[in-house]
Chain A
Amino acid sequence: MSKKLLTAVLILSALLALSFSIASANGGPHGGYTATDDACAGCHRAHTASGPKLLVETSTYALCISCHGTAGTGADTNVDDGFFLSTRSASTDGTANTTDNAPLLGGGFVNYGGVAVTSTHDVSGTVGSAWAGLAGNRGVLTAIDANLDCASCHDPHGSTNYRILNTTVNTAAVTVALVDEGAAKDYDTEQWSTGTSSLCAACHNAYHKTAAGQGSTLDAGTYTHRVDMPFNYGGNANPETVGLGGFTLPLAETGTNNTVVCMTCHLPHGSSSAMTGFADGGPTGAGIPPGNTIAADSALLRLDNRGVCEVCHQK
């Protein structure tokens, strides 16, 4: 009798744990579907779809911003402005684990921090190329397998990855572990762990160099900054807890040895950082980094000019 009871308790516990993990990873309309669910009609039509994958619309971005746009008619995560839209007054803690109007970790496609973006990932579905798309071609725009839209990186049906990131991007496997963020989601503090850079490397694979000493190793004609490395390499300040002049950068939470990843320096959705002087790689700017032809393009960097270098290296 006690064995049966124990077995039943174990099964129930496993089911509860499974259901919790699904809800925690995704939530809302993105996952948790049942056999009798009729949520599919929110985005799909079985026989009268206008877009591929039976979608109700040919533009994935237009569909996504129906909830996640600036009007916030169906979500608190406003990816156009890079704001979290729920609210928590200065004196009252709400259920949200993110303060009102806090900046989203991914940046914004139209504004960021209330200022118009100076660079974005173009998710209009018309661009099918990426900088450093092939090994050895850093600084070169190279065709990738698919055009870019929201679903290139995110799986609206839910995923085992952090922030419903796809497990396969541009044919490459992606695994982005989620660090426990508690009962409520945290949109302004990084909760990603190992594997974060694998998402970026799915398209920008020539930048994904992880070996020690990479910055001084000639590789296919150029040198490149190492990623997936400990922040304190060479005695750098902790960019997350120390920073410089009030500016900090997020590290991946990989235990005691917090790790520099692509998103430490870059905002994947879009950045409003200002690029002036040598940092402006465009035709009117003073600097000329290879391949960059767009005036004031901030290359998705989190801080103005080359602030991301100084926050760590503090030269």
Chain B
Amino acid sequence: MSQNNEDNMEEKEDPILEDSIVISEEAEEALAEIQEEGNRKKRMWLLLLLLLLLLCSCGLFVRYLVQPEPLPDIILPFTGPGSELSYPPHYLFSIYGLSQPVGVTLSPDEQLIYVSESGDERLIKVFDRSGNPVNSFAPPDTTQGYRSPVYMDTDDQGQLYVTDRLQHSIVIYSREGKYLDSILGTDLLLSEFIAKHIQGNMPEEITFSYNIITRELKYKLQEDGEEFSLPDPDPAVWAPLGLWINKNNDVFITDVFEGQHRVLTFKNLNKVKFGRGEDFDPKPRSFGASGQNAGEFLYPNKVVVDSQGRYYVSDGNNGRISVWGDEFLYQFGRGTGDGALSLPRGLMIDDRDRLYVVDAVDHAVKVYDVSGDEPIFLFKFGNLGIDDGLFNFPNDIAIDSTGRLYITDRENQRIQVWSY
């Protein structure tokens, strides 16, 4: 039945089409021309589009050659607690032009990357976010044999604090790298010492320098003025090594003076007007002692604090992380497996209380979730080698709010940039 209906319909349709569409030859030609014109335009647009794509590709290729950076990284939801993301980051690119870099940190706006070198001239080198060199500097009146910048961080004003292992001091620079002052001990500031000796207000134009090895302290009241010397300030019994600054501008330092390895915490150091000769007596909290027992340190390299106020100290030669509150809480990292530590050095903690530990001789960064009562090992990334994404004695790490990680890769003479 249905078959018959279909046949009938076909029979009815054919005569209708034949009768109703009567097209002249001219019209057919015109129609063909219109269609051809349309096709030509389509082909032209397609060609233009291809040319545009080709131009874009060439442009990107040229940009890559000039600035070897991969395409902008895709920003994943990195900040903010509560997310369940726990996969490792991926390698982005490297910044070269460095000699045995050891320390790394960022400006408060995260647009500048500061790197300390332990090789060649031992400078602080500054790069922009894309890895272009911006600036470099060192303490005044020192040659490379008299300085050794190691760990560093910036406060909310952009002032850069750098521990110098040979100068036994914390050197303060402006955001642009202008030398401001040196902290010579827990209660001794270089400009304070000078102000007391010149018995007057510090002129704005004063410049000064101190070399702890040559024991030379020089100052000029004006830039082109006469140079004066002062007696040795008798620096304090300390050896600052690690340095980290939290969002409240509290400064956390590790002190590795022989037989007195400890952590020092200074409150609100950014309120000190460096270089102006102010009285300096911040009365830091101190905890820890030298040794291998629980609650003791052997070359603590860095300290960071989580959102609950717990301190994490990379206890380098003891191969562990030491955790403190008001008192010693616990330690972790010894043992076997991926989460075990060999020589923990640089530390960083992100907004979700993920602790990043740079293991210098395992050539990797190990990440733990420390938001709970006990640390949970999440993952590690990196391995020994010279290719992209491989490390050769990494030492320190900095993290920005977009999920970028900057890691000093000492023997590969570079900073590696990773991202989530």
Interface residues of A (CB under 8 A from B): 28-29, 38-39, 41-43, 50, 56-57, 59, 62-63, 66-67, 69-76, 78, 81, 83, 85-92, 94-96, 100-101, 110-111, 113-116
Q: Contact: A56 with B168, CB < 8 Å? A: no
Q: Contact: B393 with A89, CB < 8 Å? A: no
Could you give 13 example pairs across A and B, Cβ below 8 Å? A42-B342, A57-B393, A63-B393, A71-B395, A72-B239, A74-B343, A81-B166, A85-B165, A85-B239, A87-B237, A87-B258, A100-B168, A101-B166
Selected from A73, A83, A114, A115, the residue in CB contact (under 8 A) with B299 is A73
For window 129-166 of B, CB contacts with A under 8 Å fall at 143-146, 148, 150, 165-166
Q: What's the Cα separation between A70 and B145 when bound, in Å? A: 9
Q: Contact: A75 with B299, CB < 8 Å? A: yes
Given contacts A28-B317, A29-B317, A95-B259, contact A73 B239 (CB under 8 A): no
Q: For the complex, is B366 an interface residue (Cβ under 8 Å from A)? A: no
Main secondary structure of the interface of B (DSSP, over half): loop
Given contacts A42-B361, A70-B165, A85-B239, contact A114 B143 (CB under 8 A): yes
Q: What's the Cα separation between A178 and B220 when bound, in Å? A: 49
Closest 6 CB pairs of A and B: A86-B258, A95-B259, A114-B145, A111-B145, A72-B165, A96-B258
Q: Contact: B145 with A86, CB < 8 Å? A: no
Selected from B166, B234, B340, B362, the residue in CB contact (under 8 A) with A56 is B362
Q: Contact: B384 with A57, CB < 8 Å? A: yes
Interface string of B327-358 (1 = CB under 8 A from A): 00000001110001011010000000000000
Selected from A66, A67, A72, A89, the residue in CB contact (under 8 A) with B234 is A89
Q: Give the chain A neighbours of B91 by CB distance below 8 A.
A: none
Q: Contact: B316 with A62, CB < 8 Å? A: no
For window 217-244 of B, CB contacts with A under 8 Å fall at 232, 234-239, 241
Selected from A39, A66, A91, A116, the residue in CB contact (under 8 A) with B145 is A116
Q: For the complex, is B379 an interface residue (Cβ under 8 Å from A)? A: no
Q: What's the Cα separation between A50 and B384 when bound, in Å? A: 8
Q: Contact: A111 with B144, CB < 8 Å? A: yes
Q: Contact: A56 with B342, CB < 8 Å? A: yes
Q: For the complex, is B360 an interface residue (Cβ under 8 Å from A)? A: yes
Q: Give the chain B neighbours of A29 by CB distance below 8 A.
A: 298, 317
Pick the most buried of A42, A75, A115: most chain B CB atoms within 10 A of its CB.
A42
Q: What's the Cα separation between A293 and B176 when bound, in Å? A: 45
Q: Give the chain A neighbours of B212 by CB distance below 8 A.
A: 100-101
Q: What's the Cα separation between A85 and B119 when bound, in Å? A: 17
Selected from B102, B317, B336, the residue in CB contact (under 8 A) with A67 is B317
Q: Contact: A91 with B393, CB < 8 Å? A: no
B interface, size bucket? 35 or more
Selected from A62, A69, A95, A113, the residue in CB contact (under 8 A) with B392 is A62
Q: Give the chain A neighbours of B298 by CB distance below 8 A.
A: 28-29
Pick the most buried of A28, A41, A57: most chain B CB atoms within 10 A of its CB.
A41
Q: Give the chain A neighbours of B360 by CB distance below 8 A.
A: 66, 73
Given contacts A73-B316, A74-B343, contact A56 B145 (CB under 8 A): no
Q: Contact: A71 with B335, CB < 8 Å? A: no
**A-B contact sample (6 more), CB < 8 A, given A72-B239, A86-B257, A94-B258:** A57-B393, A73-B345, A74-B343, A75-B299, A94-B257, A101-B213
Q: Contact: B319 with A41, CB < 8 Å? A: yes
Q: What's the Cα separation between A113 and B145 when bound, in Å? A: 8
Q: Give the chain A neighbours of B260 by CB distance below 8 A.
A: 94-95
Q: What's the Cα separation between A73 and B261 when bound, in Å? A: 12
Q: Contact: B343 with A38, CB < 8 Å? A: no
What residue in chain B is nearest A55 (Cβ atoms)? B361
Selected from B100, B144, B343, the residue in CB contact (under 8 A) with A42 is B343
Q: Contact: A42 with B238, CB < 8 Å? A: no
Q: Contact: B335 with A38, CB < 8 Å? A: yes
Q: For the complex, is B363 an interface residue (Cβ under 8 Å from A)? A: yes
Q: For the complex, is B411 an interface residue (Cβ under 8 Å from A)? A: yes
Q: Contact: A74 with B168, CB < 8 Å? A: no
Q: Contact: B361 with A91, CB < 8 Å? A: no
Q: For the complex, is B3 an interface residue (Cβ under 8 Å from A)? A: no
Q: Contact: A73 with B241, CB < 8 Å? A: yes
Q: Contact: B239 with A87, CB < 8 Å? A: yes
Q: Give the chain B neighbours of A94 by CB distance below 8 A.
A: 237, 257-260
Q: For the complex, is B191 an interface residue (Cβ under 8 Å from A)? A: no
Rounded to whole Å, the gap between the CB of A72 and the closest CB of chain B is: 4
Q: What's the Cα separation between A81 and B144 when bound, in Å? A: 10
Q: What's the Cα separation between A62 and B410 when bound, in Å? A: 9
Q: Contact: A91 with B257, CB < 8 Å? A: no
What residue in chain B is nearest A101 (Cβ atoms)? B213
What residue in chain B is nearest A97 (Cβ atoms)? B258
Interface string of B376-420 (1 = CB under 8 A from A): 000000001000000011010000000000000011000000000
Rounded to whole Å, the gap between the CB of B94 and the closest CB of chain A is: 18
Pick the most buried of A41, A67, A73, A90: most chain B CB atoms within 10 A of its CB.
A73
Q: For the complex, is B24 an interface residue (Cβ under 8 Å from A)? A: no
Q: For the complex, is B186 an interface residue (Cβ under 8 Å from A)? A: no
Rounded to whole Å, the gap between the CB of A202 and the closest CB of chain B is: 29
Q: Give the chain B neighbours of A38 by CB distance below 8 A.
A: 319, 334-336, 340
Q: What's the Cα separation between A69 and B345 when bound, in Å? A: 14
Rounded to whole Å, the gap between the CB of B104 and the closest CB of chain A is: 13
Selected from A41, A78, A95, the residue in CB contact (under 8 A) with B342 is A41
Q: Contact: B362 with A69, CB < 8 Å? A: no
Q: Give the chain A neighbours of B395 by CB distance below 8 A.
A: 71, 73
Given contacts A38-B334, A41-B340, contact A87 B168 (CB under 8 A): yes
Q: Give the chain B neighbours of A42 by CB distance below 8 A.
A: 317, 319, 342-343, 361
Rounded to whole Å, the gap between the CB of A32 and the closest CB of chain B is: 9
Q: What's the Cα separation between A208 and B257 when bound, in Å? A: 40
Q: Contact: A90 with B165, CB < 8 Å? A: no
Q: For the complex, is B105 an interface residue (Cβ under 8 Å from A)? A: no
Rounded to whole Å, the gap between the CB of A25 and the closest CB of chain B is: 18
Q: What's the Cα separation between A85 and B239 when bound, in Å? A: 8
Given contacts A57-B384, A66-B360, A89-B236, contact A71 B165 (CB under 8 A): yes
Q: For the complex, is B122 an interface residue (Cβ under 8 Å from A)? A: yes
